[in-house]
């Protein structure tokens, strides 16, 4: 990985965006990314995130085979990590997927739950938008479960708006977890950047 001193906003494999160092995930990062995503989305106990899917979904949010499948199916995508220093602990991760006409998808925006009160999620989201913009993005889209009203509101406060578009929840595919409700679908949010 590049050292933080040699990283510039237009470089890759790393990018220093607004003071935040983003690095491409390598296979050695995958287990740590999976653990962080599962803790942030489905964790329990005092270290749980404010935006859990508790009562909505149970089981793992991400596993090794699902991550490998996504990376193989979408080779132009960026799975980025943010660490405490160049080789420090994993603080956050994000998935950015280039699309047509400058429209990029954003997913797996995840930060350590015990650091969420430091506005790390806001900083990671802003750095992700800058990263995409510097590579030609004009708009970011994402999907969020319809019942996650607090999370939807958080994105709206960051300039995202709900579209009229929805996408079905993959009932029957428990790789994403076991649904505890029968009314789930995804809403689409977008933001011009």
At 14-68, the pLDDT tens digits run 666 666 789 999 999 999 999 999 888 877 665 555 666 777 888 888 999 999 9
- Please give the residue that has the higher pLDDT: either 40 or 184: 184
Each domain of the chain, given as residue ranges in start order, spans 4-192
pLDDT in the model for residue 17? 63
* Predicted TM-score of the model (pTM): 0.86
Helical residues (DSSP H) of 15-162, grouped into ranges: 30-42, 64-73, 120-133, 149-157
HSE on the CB side for 6, CA within 13 Å? 8
**What is the Cα–Cα distance from 99 to 2, expressed in whole angstroms?**
27
State in words which class domain 4-192 has.
Answer: alpha beta
pLDDT in the model for residue 85? 75
DSSP string, 140-172: EEEEEETT-HHHHHHHHHTT-EEEEEEEE--TT
**What is the Cα–Cα distance from 101 to 148, expressed in whole angstroms?**
29
Share of the chain above pLDDT 70, in %: 85
pLDDT in the model for residue 4? 35
pLDDT in the model for residue 29? 95
- Please give the residue that has the higher pLDDT: either 158 or 7: 158
**What is the Cα–Cα distance from 165 to 160, expressed in whole angstroms?**
14
**What pLDDT, in 10s, does the model give residues 1-10?**
233 334 433 4
């Amino acid at each position: 990985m590049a050292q933080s001193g040699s990283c510039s906003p237009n470089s890759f494999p790393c990018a220093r965006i607004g003071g935040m160092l983003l690095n491409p995930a390598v296979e050695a990062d995958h287990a740590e990314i999976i653990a962080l995503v599962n803790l942030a989305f489905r964790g329990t106990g005092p270290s749980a995130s404010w935006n859990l899917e508790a009562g909505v979904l149970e089981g793992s949010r991400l596993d090794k085979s699902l991550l490998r499948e996504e990376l193989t199916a979408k080779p132009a995508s960026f799975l980025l990590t943010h660490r405490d220093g160049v080789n420090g602990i994993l603080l956050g991760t994000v998935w950015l997927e280039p699309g047509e006409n400058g429209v990029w998808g954003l997913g797996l925006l995840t930060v350590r739950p015990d650091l969420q009160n430091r506005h790390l999620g806001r900083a990671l989201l802003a750095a992700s938008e800058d990263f995409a913009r510097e590579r030609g993005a004009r708009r970011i889209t994402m999907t969020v479960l319809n019942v996650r009203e607090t999370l939807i509101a958080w994105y709206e406060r960051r300039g995202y708006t709900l579209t009229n578009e929805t996408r079905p929840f993959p009932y029957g595919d428990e790789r994403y977890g076991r649904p505890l409700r029968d009314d789930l679908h995804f809403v689409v949010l977008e933001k011009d950047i």
